[in-house]
Amino acid sequence: MGKERKETVKDRLSKIGTGALVGLANGLFGGGGGMIAVPLLKKLGMEERSAHATAIAVIFPVSVASFLVYAYGGFCDFSVLIPTAIGVFLGGIIGAKLLQTLPERTVKILFSILQAFAGAWLMFSV
């Protein structure tokens, strides 16, 4: 086993900055932090699958925190919450299983297509 590099203060600050950007995007846009988390985590040196899995793990607590702020402000439509949450839960399981089996290149291509589609949709729906 090779020698592991000791984490520097700069490394820690980069991780904190990445987290802050992801949290800001997630809180400001009501989601979507994962869309920037994956590229930022990869920039920190993570592999594709690890970046996707870690993005999900870090988005969960910030999503809960953002939800609480939005709910307290009266911005949540609870009539769609449970049915949508069921779909998200099932889709998340399927997506996690696919992430484990799809080739890394396929994951990169699918993720890029999703980002491009989301960006185009937002631009042209204004």
Domain boundaries defined on the chain: 9-124
pLDDT tens figures, 83-98: 999 998 999 899 989 9
Q: Is 76 left (phi over 0), alpha (psi -120 to 50) or beta?
A: beta
pLDDT tens figures, 22-77: 888 877 776 777 788 888 999 999 998 899 889 888 888 888 888 899 899 999 99
pLDDT of residue 90: 95
Provide the whole-model pTM: 0.71
Cα–Cα distance measured from residue 123 to residue 125, given in angstroms and rounded to the nearest whole number = 6
Cα–Cα distance measured from residue 73 to residue 17, given in angstroms and rounded to the nearest whole number = 27
Straight-line distance from the first to the last Cα atom of the chain, in angstroms, rounded to the nearest whole number: 53
